[in-house]
């Protein structure tokens, strides 16, 4: 099926009229009828477009993910990967996870809006039932909103934020998860940083306790994350991991650490940075860093080097 039938187009036109009239109940009903006919309708600033329905369920938005924040922990670890395209990268990342992560680790892939990686996400979930789960969104969400929805839907003791550019070359998760045997630890990860000089830069911190963890591989204790949500205004990832790190530490929910030794991890091309339009990337990154400075600049009590 390459073109919608006249009946489907008529339903889409009726739905467009219902949206203009703010009859959202009718709009939802018509969307379901369109879906039952094998099509999805996507709204945009210039109207709508119809696309053949994929062979998997698609949620309208992140608000449709379940909220399980009041449910008890029922598994050890979830690795959450935010997918925004680049199917080959997603396959490489997930294949490495399945190969090297402990067998009780579950991987959740969230396709953030319709992308060219939707089929790859579905294929991986079909290939690794019980190890890989899939979620597909119709509307794109900002970084923080998507990540927070994944956290709220998770019931693992440890939730791992993983970027698709991060590729395990061995069992890098075991030492990260072992760090949580210490009840004082709220977060652990692959790379940590500390504030440099006048709070305008960060530098690598090495293993041990750190001031902030980078989001390439950032594991957080679920109980800590429930107390300290991700910074809600962060639409883009860059600097948001540092902001969240300082929010966690400011709240006193625990320490952030990098395990000793060299973790078997590599970073491939970080497309979330390099493939994002520079004007949007730089604007949103600056907003987050300015917000970070406004709240934390001069907070020497949060600087590890200032402790006696």
- Number of alpha carbons in the 13 Å side-chain half-sphere of residue 196: 8
Q: What is the pLDDT of residue 1?
A: 53
Q: Percentage of the chain surpassing pLDDT 90? A: 84
> For residues 48 and 42, what is the distance between their CA atoms, to the nearest angstrom?
5
Q: Give the pLDDT of residue 305.
A: 73
Give the pLDDT score at 160. 98
Task: Give tens-digit pLDDT for 190-224.
Answer: 999 999 878 988 999 999 999 999 999 999 999 99
Domain ranges of the chain: 6-52, 62-306
Q: Measured between alpha carbons, how far is 287 from 164 in angstroms, rounded to an integer?
A: 24
Residue 256, strand partner residues = 187, 210
The DSSP symbol for 37 reads: T
pLDDT tens-digit readout, 29-70: 998 899 888 888 878 778 888 888 888 999 989 999 999 999
Provide the whole-model pTM.
0.88
Burial 241-260 (b: 16+ CB within 10 A, else e): bbbbbbbbbeeebbbbbbbe
Q: Residue 198: its pLDDT value, please?
A: 83
Whether domain 62-306 has CATH 3.60.15.10: the reply is no
Q: Per residue of the chain (308 residues), what is the pLDDT tens digit?
A: 578 898 999 999 999 999 999 998 999 899 889 988 888 887 877 888 888 888 899 998 999 999 999 999 999 999 999 999 999 999 999 999 999 999 999 999 999 998 999 999 999 999 999 999 999 998 899 999 999 999 999 999 999 999 999 999 999 999 999 999 999 999 999 999 999 878 988 999 999 999 999 999 999 999 999 999 999 999 999 999 999 999 999 999 999 999 999 999 999 999 999 999 999 999 999 999 999 999 999 999 999 974 43
Provide the 3-class DSSP secondary structure of residue 29.
helix
Half-sphere CA count of 234, side-chain side, radius 13 A: 23
Q: What is the pLDDT of residue 307?
A: 42
Task: Judge contact between 150 and 72, C-beta under 8 A.
Answer: no
Angstrom distance (rounded) from CA 144 to CA 147: 5
Confidence (pLDDT) at 64: 96
């Amino acid at each position: 099926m390459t073109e919608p039938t006249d009946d489907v187009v008529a339903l889409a036109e009726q739905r467009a009229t219902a949206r203009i009239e703010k009859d959202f109940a009718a709009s939802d009903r018509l969307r379901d009828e369109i879906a039952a006919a094998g099509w999805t309708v996507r709204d945009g600033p210039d109207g709508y477009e119809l696309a053949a329905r994929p062979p998997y369920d698609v949620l309208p938005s992140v608000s449709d993910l379940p909220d399980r924040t009041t449910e008890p922990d029922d598994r050890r670890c979830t690795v959450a990967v935010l997918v925004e395209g680049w199917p080959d990268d997603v396959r490489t990342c997930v294949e490495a996870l399945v190969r090297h992560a402990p067998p009780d680790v579950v991987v959740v892939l969230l396709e953030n809006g319709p992308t060219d990686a939707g089929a790859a996400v579905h294929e991986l979930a079909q290939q690794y039932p019980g190890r890989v789960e899939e979620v597909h969104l119709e509307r794109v969400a900002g970084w923080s909103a998507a990540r927070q929805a994944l956290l709220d839907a998770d019931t693992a003791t440890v939730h791992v934020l993983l970027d698709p550019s991060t590729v395990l070359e061995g069992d890098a998760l075991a030492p990260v998860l072992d760090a949580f045997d210490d009840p004082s630890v709220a977060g652990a990860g692959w790379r940590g940083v500390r504030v440099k000089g006048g709070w305008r830069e960060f530098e690598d911190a090495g293993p041990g306790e750190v001031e902030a963890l980078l989001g390439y591989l950032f594991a957080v204790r679920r109980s800590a994350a429930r107390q300290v949500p991700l910074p809600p205004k962060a639409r883009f990832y860059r600097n948001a991991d540092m902001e969240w790190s300082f929010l966690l530490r400011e709240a006193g929910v625990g320490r952030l650490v990098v395990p000793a030794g060299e973790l078997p991890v590599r970073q491939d091309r970080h497309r979330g940075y390099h493939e994002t339009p520079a004007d949007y990337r730089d604007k949103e990154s600056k907003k987050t860093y300015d917000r970070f400075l406004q709240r934390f600049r001069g907070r020497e009590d949060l600087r590890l080097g200032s402790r006696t």
